[in-house]
Structure 1
Amino acid sequence: MSTWGKRDDMVVHQREPFNAEPPRTALAGRRTTPLDAFYGRNHGPVPGVDPGAWRLTVDGLVRNPLELSLEQLRDRFEEVEVAATLQCAGNRRAELIEVRDIPGEAPWGSGAVGTARWSGVRLADVLAHAGLRPGAAHIAFAAPDVSQDADPPQPYGGSIPTEKALRPEVLLAWAMDGRQLPRIHGAPLRVVVPGWIGARSVKWLTRITARAEPSGNYFQATAYRLLPADADPDRAGPGAGVSLGPLALNCDILSPDDGAHLPPGPILVTGYALAGDDQTVSRVEVSADGGASWTEADLDPGDGPWTWRHWHTTVDLPQGEVEVTARAWDATGAGQPESPATLWNPKGYANNSQPRIRLNPRS
C-alpha cells in the first residue's frame, strides 16, 4: 500500500497536499469503489482532528444555534445511508490539456470519481433542529484544512443553495461503506452532496452557517468557477465565471485501457455513465470505428439515483489501430459534447465530452 492506504499503482499528482487517482481499469466493473482505489482530492495538508474534542457548530441565520459532538449527532438524529458517486470537477482534465495547456493544474485522468455507501444524518434534519430563519438561501460549510492556493492562505470552505441542502440525499457522513470514515476522506465528519461536484462535499467539517448569500470562501467565490476560454485565471477575481455545482452528464471507458494491444475480433468494452443532480442515464452507445457506427451498450441498474451506472458491450475490432468511442444520454434526451476542444477552459473543469481510447493490434 502507498500513502493513506491507497493502491501502489495510484497516479499521484501531488503528495502534499495528497492528490491521487487510481488507474481507470481499477474502477471497471465495481459498482462500489474499493477504499484503496477511491481518489483523493485535497487543497491543504490533511488535518489531525481529535474526534473526542471535535464539535460541529451550526450558526448564522438560525433560531437555535447548535454545538454538537459526534455522539450527540448520533443520539439526536436518525442515521441513514445513501449510495452516491463523487466526481472531482477536474476529472478528465488531461484530455483538455491535450487540446491546449492548462498551467498549474493537475492533469487528472479518468480516475477522479468513485462510489461509496455513506452513512450519517440528513443535513436537513440538523437544519430543522436549528430552525432556519427567513432569508437563509445558502448553507455554507467550513473546515480546518488550510490551503496555500488562496492568497492569503485560508481554510477550505464552500456552500450550496438551501434548496439542495434540504434534500434528503444530502448527508453529514461519519461512515463509508459500513466503516468509520477514514481520515483521508474527512473523518470525523464530512458533507456528501450527491449529484454535485466533489468540491462541495466538504471534508473535516467543523461549521455550518446559514447565509443570505453564497460562501465568500476562496473555493466558492473564486475557485471552482467555469471561466470563459479567453479569461486569465490569475486575474479572475471573486464572482468571475459560473460557479460549478450540479454535475454534467458524463460517461467514460474503463476497460480496456487506452493504448492496449489486443488481437482483432470481439472484445468486451466496459465503462460507467453518470448523470448530475436529479437526472438519470437513459442510454449508452459505443463505436469501434471512431463514430461511423454505434452499438447500444447494456446498462446495469446502479445502486440508486445518485450513483453511476456501469455499462458493457462487445465490439469487433478490425485490423490495425482502432478508436473506441462512447456516448451517453440522460432522461431529458441531452447527450455529451463530441469533442473536448469545444469545452476547453482555463481551469480545466467539467470535461464531459465523449471519451475515446485507441487500441493497437497485438504484435
Structure 2
Amino acid sequence: MGPWGKRSDMVVHEREPFNAEPPRAALAEQRITPVDAFYSRNHGPVPRIDPARWRLRVDGLVEHPLELGLGELRDRFEEVEAAATLQCAGNRRAGLAAVRAIPGEDPWGPCATGTARWTGARLRDVLAAAGLRPGAAHIAFSAPDVSALAEPPQPYGGSVPVGKALGAEVLLAWAMDGQPLPRAHGAPLRAVVPGWIGARSVKWLTAVTALSEPSDNYFQATSYHLLPAGTDPGRAAPGSGIPLGPIALNCDILRPDDGARLPAGPVRITGYAFAGEDRTVARVDVSLDRGRSWCQAALDEAENPWVWQHWRTTLELPPGETEITARAWDSTGALMPESPAQLWNPKGYANNAWARIRVTAR
C-alpha cells in the first residue's frame, strides 16, 4: 500500500504536496474507479481537520448567512448520490511536454482522471436556504490547504458562475463510493462540480460565498488560465488568458500499455472517453496506421452526462512496431484535434489531442 492508502504502483509526481495517478491498467474497463486508484491532485499539504469542530460558512451576497456542522448539513438537506468523473486540467500534460518543455509542472499522463459515486447535498439547495441576493453571479469555494505556489502563499480556492452552481449535478459531498470521504479526497466535505476541471471541485470546504465577480483567489484569478504560447507564466497578470471551466472532449488508451510487447494477431484495445460539461461521447475511432484508416470502437452508454464512457475494440496487430491512435467525437459533432503541437501552452493544460501509444508485436 502506498501513501494515503493508494496503490503501491501509483505514478507519484510529487510526495509533498502529494500528486499521483494510477497506471493505465488500473482504470481499464472500470466504470467506477477504486478509491485506492483515484488520482490525487493537491496544491499544498493535506490539512488535518477535526470533524467535530468543523463548520461550513455560507455567506457573501445572501439574505440568511449559514453556519453548518456536518450533522446539520446532512439532517437539513436532501441526501443525493450521483456518479461523476473528475479530471485534472493537466491530464495528459506529458503529451504537450513532448512537444516543448513545460518547466515547473508535473508531467501528468492520461490517468489524472477517475469516476466515483458521490453522496451529499445539492449546492443549489443550500444556496436556496441562504437566499441568493440580486447581483450574486459567482459562487466561491474556500479551503484551508495553504499552497506555496501562490505568491505570497495562500489557502486554495476557486469559483464557478452561479448558473453552474445551481445545476442539480453540483454537490457538497461527504461520501465517496458509499464511504465517508477519505482525508486525502477532501474530508469532511468537498465540492463536486461535474463536467468542469477538477480544480473547481474544491476539497476540505470551509466556506461557500456568493460574489458579484469571480473569486480573486490565486487559483481562480491567475492559475488555471490557458495562456498564449509566448507568455511567461511567472509574469502573467491576474486575469490573463482564458480561465478554464468546462472540460474539453478527451479520450485515451488504457490497455495495452504504452511500450507493451505483444504477440502479433488479434489485440483487445480499450480506453476511456469523456466529453465534459453536459455533453456525451458519440463515437470513438481507433487506428493502427497513424490515422490513414479507422475502426469504430464499441462504446458504453453514458450513465449520465457527467461520467466518462469506456470503449473497446479488437484489431489485428501486425509484426513490428505499431502506433495505436484513438480519437473521440462528442454529441455536438465536435472531434478531438489531431496534434498536441497545435495545443501547446506554457502551463500544459487541456491536452485533448488524439491519443497515441506505441507497441511492439512479435
| 2:212 aligned residue | 212
> Secondary structure, in 3 states, of the residue corresponding to 1:25?
helix
| 1:120 aligned residue | 120
Give CA deviations for 1:153-209 in whole Å, capped at 9, x if unaligned.
000000000000000000000000000000000000000000000000000000010
Structure-1 separation of matches of 2:44 and 2:359: 38
| 2:187 aligned residue | 187
Displacement after TM superposition at 1:237 (Å): 1.5
| 2:167 aligned residue | 167
Structure 2 residue runs of 5 or longer lacking an equivalent are none
Q: Is the 8 A contact 1:31 1:302 kept in 2?
A: no
Q: Is the 8 A contact 2:277 2:305 kept in 1?
A: no
| 1:65 aligned residue | 65
Paired AA for residue 317 in structure 1: L
Displacement after TM superposition at 1:44 (Å): 0.5
Give CA deviations for 1:245-278 in whole Å, capped at 9, x if unaligned.
0000001000000010112111000001101101
Displacement after TM superposition at 1:302 (Å): 3.4
| 1:23 aligned residue | 23
Larger CA deviation: 132-141 vs 258-267: 258-267
Give CA deviations for 1:95-146 in whole Å, capped at 9, x if unaligned.
1000000000000001100000000000000000000000100000000000
Structure-2 separation of matches of 1:239 and 1:304: 33
Displacement after TM superposition at 1:320 (Å): 1.2
Structure-2 separation of matches of 1:104 and 1:63: 43
Displacement after TM superposition at 1:304 (Å): 2.0
Q: Aligned residue pairs: how many? A: 362
Q: Is the 8 A contact 2:122 2:168 kept in 1?
A: yes
Query: 1:14 and 2:23 equivalent?
Result: no
| 1:250 aligned residue | 250
> Secondary structure, in 3 states, of the residue corresponding to 1:50?
coil
| 2:49 aligned residue | 49
> Secondary structure, in 3 states, of the residue corresponding to 2:320?
coil
Larger CA deviation: 154-163 vs 263-272: 263-272
Give CA deviations for 1:43-90 in whole Å, capped at 9, x if unaligned.
000000111100000000000000000000011100001100000000
> Secondary structure, in 3 states, of the residue corresponding to 2:144?
strand
Map 1:1-363 onto structure 2 (within 5 A): 1-362=1-362
Displacement after TM superposition at 1:303 (Å): 2.8
Q: TM-score, normalised by structure 2?
A: 0.99
Paired AA for residue 164 in structure 2: K
> Secondary structure, in 3 states, of the residue corresponding to 1:239?
coil
Structure-2 separation of matches of 1:276 and 1:6: 26
Structure-2 separation of matches of 1:59 and 1:180: 26
> Secondary structure, in 3 states, of the residue corresponding to 1:99?
coil
Structure-2 separation of matches of 1:192 and 1:219: 17
Paired AA for residue 106 in structure 2: A
Q: Is the 8 A contact 1:271 1:311 kept in 2?
A: yes
Displacement after TM superposition at 1:292 (Å): 1.2
List structure 1 runs of 4+ shifted beyond 3 angstroms.
Answer: none
Q: Is the 8 A contact 2:277 2:306 kept in 1?
A: yes
Paired AA for residue 90 in structure 2: G
Structure-2 separation of matches of 1:140 and 1:361: 51
Give CA deviations for 1:303-335 in whole Å, capped at 9, x if unaligned.
322100000001111121101100110111000
Structure-2 separation of matches of 1:302 and 1:3: 32
Structure-2 separation of matches of 1:109 and 1:344: 15
Structure 1 residue runs of 5 or longer lacking an equivalent are none
Paired AA for residue 286 in structure 1: V
State, as a whole percentage, how many aligned pairs show the same letter.
72
Displacement after TM superposition at 1:214 (Å): 0.1
Paired AA for residue 141 in structure 1: F
Paired AA for residue 21 in structure 1: E
Structure-2 separation of matches of 1:180 and 1:221: 31
> Secondary structure, in 3 states, of the residue corresponding to 1:321?
strand
